[in-house]
């Protein structure tokens, strides 16, 4: 088979199954609104939960950081790419979240991959929630450890897996808030099980950090737990990008020796670290935005009366509307777009087969009338 016919066959299959993916070019994004092809839409697909991506103080910090440090970091953190700005951000993060150390990564994807592949190898065992993010599952496979997935948010399913004895190390992995469902992990039970079996727990809190907990400290703060490994990402509520791993001294030293993403990749621009420090300051003081978001969530749930589709059981900014069929999820997304509402359809393999959905995300940047507009459209939708 030639390369051309191989790829064309693959592409044709994707079109046929309604899982064709394409990128759209966003001409303008204010957080609350998007401009695409000259048209304006209310944006219900972003992860900028607190509206921070446009915060004047954060923008100013990035500009000042660039003026002070230049545009790029100039190398890996192991050479000359670890600056005062990086160090200050790591120190503030570790103090804020109550860990001895924080290590910065350029993305959550990289952080998950670095941590899992550095710690785990053949003979070890990873017990991950069934709905874990692709970056966690990819990394687990790459590590060559034995990957077992427990039933979503089910401590008893995890307990059954833990009951099997193993020679190597065991790492339990979950998310604080699940990215496609918006539900929260039973962190207390998971940490208890980890403790009873003397194994480690890793929590990826990409969607909880900034939004939940005191001063936005995230899901672990809400549940009063401290996993051995906490991953926080900056592409969501922080309104920027990047990630950090929170851990103890020994683990941080171990990652600095072994995590290939730290050694062989250029560190984030120092100016970005300056902007992240400014965003963190805003997040700590953002109780009003968190309250606003909470009210939007309650309002949306209280006033939704959908036919033929189901609102998922989520108290978070992620409010999925499950329609099941791939084609119908696309129809619904198109219908909303015609009404000036941008809501992305999410299809397998991002979500399990038969659970195609609209992934609605609410933000403190929305106004209540924005949500009214969305509700009116959704409440009026019927599957033909
Ligand atoms: C978004 C996300 C990531 C990836 O983070 P990036 O910084 O976007 O690479 C990892 N884990 C979860 C749960 C996420 O939602």
Domain CATH number, residue 320? 3.90.1150.10
**279 shares its domain with 293:** no
Which pLDDT value is given to residue 340?
97
Binned at pLDDT 50, 70 and 90, residue 241 comes out as very high
**128 shares its domain with 69:** yes
Domain end among 268, 284, 300: 284
Mean pLDDT over 44-63 rounds to 97
Going from the Cα of 177 to the center of ligand 1, the distance in angstroms, rounded, reads: 11
Which pLDDT value is given to residue 121?
98
Which pLDDT value is given to residue 79?
93
Contact assessment for residue 118 and residue 143, using Cβ atoms and an 8 Å cutoff = no
CATH number of the structural domain spanning residue 83: 3.40.640.10
Q: Give the chain's domain count.
A: 2
Which pLDDT value is given to residue 282?
98
* Those residues with Cβ within 8 angstroms of residue 173's Cβ, 6 or more apart along the chain or in another chain: 116, 126, 127, 128, 129, 132, 136, 140, 201, 202, 203, 204
Calpha distance 312→364 (Å, rounded): 20
Q: Is 22 a residue whose pLDDT tops 90? A: no
Which pLDDT value is given to residue 169?
98
Catalytic residue among 86, 223, 236, 296: 236
Paired with 174 in beta bridges are: 203
- pLDDT tens digit string along 153-203? 999 999 999 999 899 999 999 999 999 999 999 999 999 999 999 999 999
Domain end among 249, 284, 319: 284
Q: Is 366 a residue whose pLDDT tops 80? A: yes
Calpha distance 65→166 (Å, rounded): 49
Binned at pLDDT 50, 70 and 90, residue 242 comes out as very high
DSSP string, 231-248: EEESSSTTSS--EEEEE-
Which pLDDT value is given to residue 236?
98
Q: Is 71 a residue whose pLDDT tops 80? A: yes
Mean pLDDT over 133-138 rounds to 96
**186 shares its domain with 277:** yes
Taking CB atoms and a 6 Å cutoff, what residues make up the pocket around ligand 1?
A: 107-109, 112, 133, 135, 175, 179, 204, 206-207, 233, 235, 241, 243
**215 shares its domain with 229:** yes
Domain end among 258, 284, 310: 284
Check if 207 is active-site: yes
User: Looking at the domain assignment, is residue 145 inside a domain?
Assistant: yes
Q: Is 255 a residue whose pLDDT tops 90? A: yes
* Residue-range definition of the domain harbouring residue 359: 21-50+287-379
Q: Is 384 a residue whose pLDDT tops 90? A: no
Going from the Cα of 197 to the center of ligand 1, the distance in angstroms, rounded, reads: 28
User: Looking at the domain assignment, is residue 6 inside a domain?
Assistant: no
């Amino acid at each position: 088979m030639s390369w051309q016919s191989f790829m064309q066959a693959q592409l044709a299959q994707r079109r046929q199954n309604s899982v064709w993916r394409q990128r759209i070019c966003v001409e303008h994004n204010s957080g609350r609104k998007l401009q695409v092809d000259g048209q304006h839409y209310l944006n219900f697909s972003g992860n900028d939960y607190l509206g921070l991506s446009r915060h004047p103080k954060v923008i100013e910090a990035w500009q000042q950081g660039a003026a002070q440090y230049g545009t790029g970091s100039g190398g890996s953190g192991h050479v000359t790419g670890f600056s005062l700005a990086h160090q200050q951000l790591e120190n503030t993060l570790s103090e804020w979240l109550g860990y001895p150390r924080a290590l910065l990564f350029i993305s959550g994807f990289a952080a998950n991959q670095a941590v899992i592949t550095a710690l785990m190898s053949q003979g070890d065992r990873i017990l991950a929630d069934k709905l874990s993010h692709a970056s966690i599952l990819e990394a687990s496979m790459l590590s060559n450890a034995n990957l077992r997935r427990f039933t979503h948010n089910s401590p008893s399913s995890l307990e059954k897996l833990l009951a099997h004895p193993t020679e190597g190390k065991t790492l339990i992995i979950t998310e604080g808030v699940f990215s496609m469902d918006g539900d929260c992990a039973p962190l207390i039970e998971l940490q208890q099980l980890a403790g009873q079996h003397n194994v480690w727990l890793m929590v990826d809190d990409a969607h909880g950090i900034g939004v939940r907990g005191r001063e936005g400290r995230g899901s672990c703060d809400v549940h009063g737990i401290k996993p051995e490994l906490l991953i926080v990402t900056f592409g969501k509520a922080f309104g920027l990008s990047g990630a950090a791993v929170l851990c103890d001294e020994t683990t941080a030293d171990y990652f600095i020796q072994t995590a290939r993403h730290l050694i062989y990749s250029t560190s984030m621009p120092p100016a970005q670290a300056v902007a992240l420090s400014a965003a963190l300051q805003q997040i700590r003081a953002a109780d009003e935005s968190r309250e606003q978001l909470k009210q939007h969530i309650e309002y949306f749930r209280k006033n939704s009366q959908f036919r033929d589709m189901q609102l998922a059981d989520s108290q978070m900014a992620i409010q999925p509307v499950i329609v099941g069929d791939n084609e119908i999820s696309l129809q619904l997304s198109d219908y909303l777009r015609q009404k000036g509402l941008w809501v992305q359809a999410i299809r397998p393999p991002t979500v399990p087969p038969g659970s195609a959905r609209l992934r609605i995300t609410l933000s403190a940047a929305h106004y209540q009338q924005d949500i009214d507009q969305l509700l009116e459209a959704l409440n009026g939708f019927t599957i033909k």
